[in-house]
Amino acid sequence: MKRIAVFPGSFDPITKGHESIIRRAIPLFDKIIVAIGVNAEKSGFFSVEKRKQWLVKVFENDPTVSVDIYSGLTVDYCKANNINYILRGLRTSADFEFERSIGQVNKKMYPSIETVFLLTTPEHTALNSSIVRDIIRHGGDARSFVPDGVNFKD
Ligand code: ADP
């Protein structure tokens, strides 16, 4: 059985923290789908198309990484796409508590799914998309926090 993982998130925008988790997971899985979760009530800061375009660019040379957009429950997306692993990054104990309940509920809803966690590298622990959005909103330079392929002037 092929090991297919989904890395679900908002990626609004992708940061170096996300990129690091995905790159470290490449050797672990046959295929990784980076899936942008969309919610009809929340439009996000960057458009979904723009977020997808940046993700595609960042992983353009990584043949086992693909990018998709989904709505609804992550486990339903997994069932529909033969995904057997959910990949998540853990930064802090707060992340752990949040992820623990989601992971346990997902397992209850879809018993054959396994959630796999990678610990964030220390240099990325303080980083999140909301800090990057704040920097941009206030006219700061966020380039050092996002992967090389991400150009906010695109
Ligand atoms: P959410 O939509 O749940 O807020 P994000 O889009 O921020 O999620 O992130 C998706 C995944 O990336 C989560 O597993 C999260 O823990 C992980 N992640 C976010 N920021 C970082 C970071 N700086 N370093 C490592 N992992 C991260």
Is residue 154's pLDDT more than 80? no
Q: For position 40, what pLDDT does the model report?
A: 79
What token pair was written down for 90? 């853990």
Average pLDDT over residues 105-123: 98
Nearest CA to ligand 1 atom 25: 17
- pLDDT tens digits for 8-24? 999 999 999 999 999 99
- Read off the pLDDT of residues 27-79 as tens digits, 9 standing for 90 and up: 999 999 999 999 878 889 999 999 999 999 999 999 999 999 999 999 999 99
> Cα(131)–Cα(127) distance, rounded to whole angstroms?
7
Active site residue 88: no
Cβ-contact 124, 132 below 8 angstroms: no
From the list 18, 51, 88, 124, the catalytic residue is: 18
Q: Is 103 in the pocket of ligand 1 (CB under 6 A)?
A: no
4-145 adopts what CATH topology?
Answer: Rossmann fold (3.40.50)
Q: How far apart are CA 142 and CA 146, in angstroms?
A: 7
Name the token pair of 50.
């723009």
Residue nearest to atom 23 of ligand 1 (CA): 17
Give the phi and the psi of residue 86 in degrees, each rounded to 5. -110, 125
Among candidate residues 31, 50, 79, 91, the one labeled active-site is 91
